[in-house]
Structure 1
Amino acid sequence: MSSRTFVNQLVFFFMSSQKKAKRIVIIHDNLASSVVQDSTSIPNAESYIFEPTTAFSILSRIIFMESGKFLLIPKELGADDKKFNDPIEIPCLEGNFSKEISEFINYQRQFVQSSVGFLNNTCRLIDGIFLDLLAEKRNRMIWAIGPLHQIIHSKNTEYYNSNNNGKHKCLLEWLDKQEPNSVLYISFGTTTSIGDHDEQLQELAIGLELSETKFIWVFRDADHKKDNGKRVELPEGFEERMRAKGIGMVVRDWAPQLEILEHKSTGGFLSHCGWNSCLESISYGVPIATWPMHTDQPTNALLITKVLKVGLNVKEWERRHELVSSSTINKALRRLMGPDEGAEMRKRAQDLGAKVRNATADGGVSRLECDSFIAHITRQT
């Protein structure tokens, strides 16, 4: 079905429902605003934009586009622990979107003004100050209803066992044998890859081996294929040595990320900083070693390291075109997984994670936000 056909059918549905419904509520992705542009012609229709990322990243990008370099926190919105006393410096975001994606985003932006408000996959425990600032800047209501991923618990035997078959059962059984907080989980998500950088891949593997950190590395097929089709591989003998020593496991396909992050043996996450991965890691109290690659990942990494202080940089966005040496990777992973700085980050992450896991429960801050949104769209006037 073409997008135009879909839009025509959508408009027909709206028009046919207009006389039957008191209010028509449309919730759409922020990159699909053009699809529902005709809804403004329907008197009793309201559109709301769903944004799958954090208010901090959105606000940072808006300020950057306005040629700003710092995110200033008003004193009345500051936190008691004074972590927002100093302005937050926004990294240069040039190049974090491709030309085509940037043009598409700009095209969608012209239709945003017709929306009544925004729903965000974030939580006020994480993003509260920045949600307030973003709502003020946009002059729109925002409801933070995240985290939207399913909160799981290993004590839930039925759920846990149903997802632990075959190789994934072996993987989680291996985790069961490790010390608490001793394993590093490595994944660069489903849409990013370091496979185009053969030398960087080698340095990462060498640095990981030097750190002597136990690990689970999700090394998908996309991670070892260049654009020209040539395969790049891990260093010769690396996988065999790690397996023989009982140090690490390389997973060649999908891995049960939620179960791994929830596991007591997982003590760190080397991540590209996609917001879903960040939010999942925060929810389970796992600190993050950041390696941002594009889109909102640089600002997500900034939120993790400088604001929430539940992670550290491995590859800084400002030096994205430079090779990260195995020595640098080794040092960063030892810091993350170590008993000093790493333990402090883990404690902060675990404290925050416990609060975030309760956010969607009855009486939790995100449940209250969701209730507020429902009350708003079902209002009588």
Structure 2
Amino acid sequence: MKKIRVKTKMTMNNTLKSEVVVVMVPLPAQGHLNQLLHLSHLIAAYGIPVHYAGCASHNRQVKVRCNGWESESLTKIQFHDFELPPYDSPPPNVDLISFPHHLLPLFKASMHLRQPVSVLLQQLSGKFNRVIVIHDLVMAYVVQDVKLIPNGETYSFNPVSAFYNFLYSWISIPDKEKPFQLDSKDIPEGIPPEDDGFSTQDMTEFFLNQMKFLGFESGWIFNTSRIIEGRYVQLLERLPTTKSQRNYFALGPFNPVKIKSESMKNRHQCLNWLDKQGKDSVIYVSFGSTISLTDDQITELANGLERCGEKFIWVLRRADPNDIFTEADKVKKPQLHADYEERVKDRGIIVRDWAPQLEILAHPSVGGFMSHCGWNSCMESISMGVPVVAWPMHSDQPKNAFLVSNVLKIGVMVREWEHRGEIVKSITIENAVKTLMASQEGKEIKMRAANIGEAVRGSVAEGGASNLERDAFISHISR
């Protein structure tokens, strides 16, 4: 990484004053926390001080689950552990469309971070010539006081794909007011429509209320690469906005694309098992931190993995509760038939704790990823060159799955979105896995995924597209 010189200035009392500081304000949900922690590492590598502001339990959570970086890299980031007021905390729901509405009380409570974050920004504004706030789009209310700080500047982090963001923006513009015409390739046929299967009404209202506090940010940041979504970043740049000078920065992938050898200490047991498997022979199965499959669906998935004949690592766990350290007892652990693990022991293992996903995807034995297609998981899989068996559940996941399978053509769908209310049968799961892992179509998909992965990894090397965009962003905030 090319070093960008961070300037300093002499203040009126002749003390040295740093030019810029960055404050991260994430939404307290794993996929959001993780992306901004990755970005914190990238910015800190330029020698810029980074402060990560959140509630104490979720700061602890994101540090415990940090994957792919050297352990001492966390010492370069200053964490601010704030407390939240008491809030209702229902257990995660278990459903075929497992939208995590149990998180809404936590999200509402996190709005109380406004006051301590405002105090932190005021303190930093006296020590630095410019305070850069990078906040999750859904934390706009919390950071609204930045506009009262004369040397403050905000950038909204959009935690979804540019593809999803453009489609959402485009659909919201009346047909008569569309600013330009699209090529038929820009919006292919078959994209899942926006409907009540994506979210819940109360969560949607919460998100929309956050949007009311946007409008003074200096730019939007995406965890994507122009190698993957350049066309959709360009289309976003062409859309009219309330700020004529809004900048779009595609700084991804945020996650490291080469796993440091130091991070391999105290390896998870599944990595030792992977060492014994053939190249590209294992499919990794995981549905992230917000999905709880029903018992019937778990049974069908277990049977499908057993019948497909392929090797697999299956992360079998329920969705995270609001506080993973104090509310674990609220989450009923999923069960398998007593002899299942014995039957599949020669070609499959079950992981019931938090899995080191980046290290798994980076392992040469992994040849596929059955995923819910959260954007964090998509970027990690794409950057490692691993194709996807797409099984979206909620939110932006259906459109991410469509991007992966129908636009980039580096994945296959388990089932179409219109059948989301039905249990996916074992034969359907078996066929999807076999298509990717044991067919000519699968070979072609794997080759495309490998090529895109290589291009993405090249983009973060010196002189690559993402590396240059990161350098430009650092120069911009350090100007």
Q: Could you say which TM-score interval applies, normalised by the shorter chain?
A: 0.7 to 0.9
Q: 1:63 to 1:86 in 2, by over 3 A?
A: closer
Q: Which residue of 2 aligns with 1:159?
A: 263
Residue 190 of structure 1 deviates from its aligned partner by 1.6
Q: 1:252 to 1:228 in 2, by over 3 A?
A: closer
Q: 1:239 to 1:46 in 2, by over 3 A?
A: same
Residue 10 of structure 1 deviates from its aligned partner by 4.3
* Superposition pairs of residues 144-183 of structure 1, within 5 angstroms: 144-153=250-259, 157-160=261-264, 162-164=265-267, 168-169=268-269, 171-183=270-282
Residue 256 of structure 1 deviates from its aligned partner by 1.9
Partners of 2:295 and 2:164 lie apart in 1 by: 30
Q: Structure 1 residues 268-277 or 232-241, which shifts more?
A: 232-241
Query: The residue matched to 2:140 in structure 1 has which SS?
Result: helix
Letter of the structure 1 residue corresponding to residue 272 of structure 2: E
Residue 311 of structure 1 deviates from its aligned partner by 0.1
Q: 1:73 to 1:292 in 2, by over 3 A?
A: farther
Partners of 2:187 and 2:160 lie apart in 1 by: 24
Partners of 2:186 and 2:169 lie apart in 1 by: 21
Q: Which residue of 1 aligns with 2:352?
A: 252
Partners of 2:271 and 2:471 lie apart in 1 by: 37
* Superposition pairs of residues 181-260 of structure 1, within 5 angstroms: 181-194=280-293, 197-220=294-317, 222=319, 232-243=334-345, 246-260=346-360
Partners of 1:311 and 1:115 lie apart in 2 by: 35
Q: Which residue of 2 aligns with 1:125?
A: 227
Letter of the structure 2 residue corresponding to residue 123 of structure 1: S
Letter of the structure 2 residue corresponding to residue 275 of structure 1: W
Tell me whether 1:34 sits opposite 2:141 in the alignment. yes
Normalising by the residue count of structure 1, what TM-score does the alignment of the two structures yield?
Answer: 0.85
Conserved in 1, the CA contact under 8 Å of 2:292 and 2:318?
A: no
Give the one of 3, 20, 45 matched to 2:152.
45
Partners of 1:375 and 1:343 lie apart in 2 by: 42
Q: Structure 1 residues 211-220 or 93-102, which shifts more?
A: 93-102
* Superposition pairs of residues 1-381 of structure 1, within 5 angstroms: 1=83, 6-12=113-119, 14=121, 21-66=128-173, 74=182, 84=185, 87-94=188-195, 95-137=197-239, 139=241, 140-153=246-259, 157-160=261-264, 162-164=265-267, 168-169=268-269, 171-194=270-293, 197-220=294-317, 222=319, 232-243=334-345, 246-379=346-479
Residue 138 of structure 1 deviates from its aligned partner by 5.0
Partners of 1:322 and 1:359 lie apart in 2 by: 40
Partners of 1:356 and 1:280 lie apart in 2 by: 11
User: How well do the aligned residues superpose, as a CA RMSD in angstroms?
Assistant: 2.8
Letter of the structure 2 residue corresponding to residue 264 of structure 1: P
Q: Which residue of 2 aligns with 1:81?
A: none
Conserved in 2, the CA contact under 8 Å of 1:261 and 1:281?
A: yes
Residue 288 of structure 1 deviates from its aligned partner by 0.3
Partners of 2:432 and 2:253 lie apart in 1 by: 28
Q: Structure 1 residues 135-144 or 255-264, which shifts more?
A: 135-144
Partners of 1:209 and 1:4 lie apart in 2 by: 45
Residue 192 of structure 1 deviates from its aligned partner by 1.2
Normalising by the residue count of structure 2, what TM-score does the alignment of the two structures yield?
Answer: 0.68
Letter of the structure 2 residue corresponding to residue 188 of structure 1: F
Q: 1:93 to 1:240 in 2, by over 3 A?
A: farther
Q: 1:73 to 1:353 in 2, by over 3 A?
A: farther
Letter of the structure 1 residue corresponding to residue 230 of structure 2: G
Conserved in 2, the CA contact under 8 Å of 1:60 and 1:299?
A: no
Residue 361 of structure 1 deviates from its aligned partner by 2.3
Partners of 2:341 and 2:137 lie apart in 1 by: 41
Partners of 1:221 and 1:5 lie apart in 2 by: 28
Identity %: 44
How many aligned positions are there?
A: 356
1:88-141 deviations in Å (ceiling 9; x for gaps): 543123221122221111011111211111111111111111111112225421
Partners of 1:4 and 1:285 lie apart in 2 by: 38
More helix by share: 1
Partners of 1:347 and 1:205 lie apart in 2 by: 28
Letter of the structure 1 residue corresponding to residue 348 of structure 2: G
Q: 1:63 to 1:320 in 2, by over 3 A?
A: farther
Q: 1:342 to 1:277 in 2, by over 3 A?
A: same
Q: 1:99 to 1:174 in 2, by over 3 A?
A: same
Residue 45 of structure 1 deviates from its aligned partner by 2.7
Conserved in 1, the CA contact under 8 Å of 2:199 and 2:395?
A: yes
Q: 1:163 to 1:368 in 2, by over 3 A?
A: farther
Residue 337 of structure 1 deviates from its aligned partner by 0.3
* Structure 2 unaligned regions, length at least 5: 1-82, 85-109, 321-328
Partners of 2:206 and 2:461 lie apart in 1 by: 37
Conserved in 2, the CA contact under 8 Å of 1:125 and 1:355?
A: yes
Query: The residue matched to 2:253 in structure 1 has which SS?
Result: coil
Partners of 2:142 and 2:298 lie apart in 1 by: 40
Partners of 1:221 and 1:317 lie apart in 2 by: 22
Partners of 1:37 and 1:150 lie apart in 2 by: 31
Residue 51 of structure 1 deviates from its aligned partner by 1.8
Letter of the structure 2 residue corresponding to residue 159 of structure 1: S
Partners of 1:251 and 1:17 lie apart in 2 by: 43
Query: The residue matched to 1:323 in structure 2 has which SS?
Result: coil
Conserved in 1, the CA contact under 8 Å of 2:291 and 2:318?
A: no
Residue 255 of structure 1 deviates from its aligned partner by 1.8
